[in-house]
Amino acid sequence: MWGKWVTFSTPAGKKWAVRLLAVAIAVGCGFWLLPSAELPVGDSIEWQTYNADTIADAVSKGEPVVIKFTADWCTNCKVVDKKVYRDPEIVELIKQKGVFAVKADTTLNSYPATVDFKKVYGEAGNVPVTIVLLPGKEPVKMRGIFDKQELIDIIGTPPDRN
């Protein structure tokens, strides 16, 4: 914006308008990307560390499994965390449905989650990806930023909040 819309000879009014627009965009993005207030203690998903054996054990017992492939450097992962996994409705749904929630860290290539992400789940390595394993159904993959309603539609209807 700065280099294309404003030059040395641009009228002062247009310069200020572009500056205000740039600041508004920066502030808006900050509010959208930065984490919101934390959920009260006890009101969050209890993520398990990635382990292929525990996932296989949960699947063999018929438990629903959600595997959240993420990385420390991934901005989109933080957006999904804020917009989906920190939402009280999703937290309650995961608890009510007895979903085995796994956080699969792919920050480094040597991590087991990174290796399995490519070999077992056939993904290229781009995160965020959430894989939902439901008893008797094919795995469902959600790539990139998605809405909480997509996860609700896959896992099931949320419990009543009465």
Backbone angles phi, psi at 70, to 5 degrees: -145, 175
Residue 83 lies in a domain: yes
Q: How confident is the model at residue 39 (pLDDT cuts 50, 70, 90)?
A: very low
* Residue 96 sits in the same domain as residue 128: yes
Write down the pTM of the prediction: 0.72
Instruction: Tell me the residue ranges of DSSP E strands in the chain.
Output: 48-49, 65-70, 100-105, 129-133, 140-143
Q: What percent of the chain has pLDDT over 70?
A: 87
* Residue 13 sits in the same domain as residue 82: no
Cα–chain-centroid distance for residue 116?
A: 19
Integer Cα distance of 107 and 39 in angstroms = 25
* Residue 73 sits in the same domain as residue 123: yes
Residue 93 lies in a domain: yes
What is the per-residue pLDDT across 130-151, written as a single tens digit (0 to 9) for each?
Answer: 999 999 899 999 999 999 999 9
Domain extent at residue 99: 48-155
What is the count of structural domains for the chain?
2
* Residue 6 sits in the same domain as residue 53: no
Q: What percent of the chain has pLDDT over 90?
A: 63
Q: How confident is the model at residue 103 (pLDDT cuts 50, 70, 90)?
A: very high
Pairing mode of beta strands 65-70, 129-133: antiparallel
Domain CATH code at residue 102: 3.40.30.10
Q: How far apart are the first and last CA of the chain?
A: 49
